[in-house]
Structure 1
Amino acid sequence: MTQDGSDAPGGLAGAVDWDVAAWAGVRLSRPGPRTSRYSAEAVVAELSEASVRAEGPVREVTGLADGLPVPQARVVDRAGWIRAAADSMANLTGDADRPTTGGGLLAGRPAGLQAGAMLAFLSSAILGQYDPFTGEHGTLLLVAPNVVSVERTLRVVPSDFRLWVCLHEVTHRVQFSSAPWIADYMRESVATLGAAGDEPIADLIGRLVEELRRRRGGVEQAPEERGLLGLLRATQSESQRVALDRLLILGTLLEGHADHVMDAVGPAVVPTVAQIRDAFDKRRARQSNPLQRLVRALLGMDAKMAQYVRGKAFVDAVVGRVGMSEFNAVWTGPDTLPRVDEIDDHEKWIARVLG
């Protein structure tokens, strides 16, 4: 989860040298907020403890992962997150198994430098992240300096905020632990996105021109068709558009469910949860400077923010209508995930999946 409530965007499939990306990202990243060694060690200890303490409330609210192990979280600094994220992306895109020497001495390195710049930018925004692609039970990462930075900015109770963040990230661990098929589903979709097409370049340009014409004509667009994401979809083949939609809807569900859970746990566990949510939502809505807005758009972070809103609305509505136990049918397999036309119309999903 980023400081504004989004996870790091994906989509970097292809021949990327992720060792170079990690190297560049660490060197380009900014230092975290100033703190004493004692305070830093105290934050690490409290986040580690909170990640374990969050597991019980999350399992109680969701009804998932009963009896499964509770792996230890990794509390990292920004450089540690960059290295872990590069390793995770290598596993997700298949670049970890792809030789980097086949295309010459520089194969994958220019893309690695670009990816490193992206990771450096994101490293100051990520609060925590669950990585289902590394370790026997996945890896839960918590970025200590970023948690400290945000809690200072929001002026919230540090212990409550740290547990609140852990509730969100632990929910992701519970989701993937309860539905292990999700990781393969993501890999397959990313592989489709990264597959090289053999269609004529004229066809690709034709789709892009048609999309620009639609926009000038004022045609109403769905959320996934707006902005740079919409232009990306316009250049893709049908199979790639389907794969991208699958990833977007899955991400919307995962993030919305985590947001629902972190608030549903309530003040019995996080006494100042209402104040934290109010302050956090105001921070999400706050306008950044023009350069930050451009970078955020290029990285897809604004689209991720929309995922939180749409996803939480879907989960809130379904759980309110049928209860959490019935909602959990969504984790059965790919066929029970909401479809593009269902994420904003929960009654369609209920009718199709629950009858």
Structure 2
Amino acid sequence: MDLTTGLWAVATASGDEPVDWSAATTAAKATSTAGSLSLSEAEKAGYAADVRDARSAIRSLTDRSFSVPGTVEIQNRHHWIDANVRTFRRVFEPLSQAGVSVHHASRTVNTATTAGTLAYVARHVLGQYDPLLLADGDPGHELYFVHPNVVQGADSLDVEYPRFRRWIAFHEVTHAAEFGAAPWLSEYLSERLREAVKDLTKYDIPREAFTDVNVAMTAVEGYAELLMDHAFDEESADLRRKLDARRRGGGPVSQIVRRALGFTMKRAQYERGRAFFDAVTREIGIDGAGAVWDRPENLPSDEELEDPDRWLDRVDHQ
């Protein structure tokens, strides 16, 4: 790591946008190690086989068709930063297009915050299914594995690396299944993000748009957890316990950072969404629960996440 380079990049942030993206990228990489991408041919084949097996297992579990990206990227942490800077820029582009005036001091703070977020997440993210929200045209989708973190995660959880890698592959492919089963979902989320940023350009707090995104992502994460436990082809109770502990773990400083970056909300999405789908599945099975992806109106409301019977009654009468 090179803290001096990171600090200098932030201190010299410039341009007309709310964030100096080049400086944020430089600072994020300077304050995080890339990690090793030294993979054997067997490891490369292992990632590919895990994705193929996950696709087959999930397809056999549901009656909904979906595809996975043709190319699976095995990344280091800096590759992940590059990929996600592109996403961040797309999200905040409306602010630039609206000509929102940003003071130099604010740009510096925004750049530092963005760099810190990217660096922190890059050190922890294991895999990512990316539906490329807000991208122009029909951009397809992408699937990443951050190999140094997968290896480190397996070691820290005292889990065999090939088994842990396979678990992560199954989890990310469940997201491909969700977005494939719901062709409307990417545009739904993109539109809510556009609304949120549009509100910000008017200096309004976009509560409704953020609530819609949070509810939708709670459904996404909860359904993924449901599919994972049914599709994964090995005993996984120990993995579930260890990963749940990982999501809650860390010292006081780490907990503060995770809370500030929304990691606690992410954990709540997993837990709240899974509880909703467990209740729904007990009543109508996995295929029935998949009705949530039939159309946007079938997404549960914030209230229905707490009372699945209300969702069952509403969807049953549509």
What range describes the TM-score normalised by the shorter chain of this pair?
0.7 to 0.9
Q: Check 1:15–1:183 CA distance in 2 against 1; reply closer, same or farther (3 A cut).
A: farther
Q: After alignment, is 121-130 or 92-101 more displaced?
A: 92-101
Mapped to 2, the partners of 1:23 and 1:106 lie a distance apart of 18
State which of 263, 278, 293 in structure 1 corresponds to 2:255: 293
**Matched length:** 296
- Cα offset for 1:197? 6.1
Mapped to 1, the partners of 2:272 and 2:104 lie a distance apart of 45
Q: Secondary structure at the match of 1:94?
A: helix
Q: Check 1:22–1:333 CA distance in 2 against 1; reply closer, same or farther (3 A cut).
A: farther
- Cα offset for 1:301? 0.5
* Percent identical residues: 30
Alignment of 1:274-289 (within 5 A): 274-286=237-249, 288-289=250-251
- Cα offset for 1:74? 0.9
Mapped to 2, the partners of 1:36 and 1:296 lie a distance apart of 26
Q: Secondary structure at the match of 2:303?
A: coil
Mapped to 1, the partners of 2:258 and 2:20 lie a distance apart of 23
Q: CA RMSD in A?
A: 2.9
- Cα offset for 1:297? 1.1
Gaps of 5+ in 2: 1-16
Alignment of 1:182-193 (within 5 A): 182-193=185-196
Match in the other structure for 1:123: 122
Match in the other structure for 1:6: none
Q: Secondary structure at the match of 1:183?
A: helix
Mapped to 2, the partners of 1:157 and 1:115 lie a distance apart of 34
- 1:248 alignment partner AA: N
Match in the other structure for 1:29: 32
Alignment of 1:253-292 (within 5 A): 253-266=219-232, 269=233, 271-286=234-249, 288-292=250-254
Mapped to 1, the partners of 2:78 and 2:201 lie a distance apart of 35
Match in the other structure for 2:59: 59
Q: Secondary structure at the match of 2:74?
A: strand
Q: Secondary structure at the match of 1:74?
A: strand
Match in the other structure for 1:158: 161
Match in the other structure for 1:349: 311
Mapped to 1, the partners of 2:188 and 2:47 lie a distance apart of 30
Indicate if the aligned counterparts of 1:25 and 1:117 stay in contact, CA closer than 8 A: yes
Match in the other structure for 1:241: 207
Mapped to 1, the partners of 2:104 and 2:283 lie a distance apart of 58
State which of 253, 275, 287 in structure 2 corresponds to 1:325: 287
Q: After alignment, is 305-314 or 96-105 more displaced?
A: 96-105
Match in the other structure for 2:297: 335
Q: Check 1:98–1:19 CA distance in 2 against 1; reply closer, same or farther (3 A cut).
A: farther
- 1:53 alignment partner AA: D
Mapped to 1, the partners of 2:108 and 2:94 lie a distance apart of 12
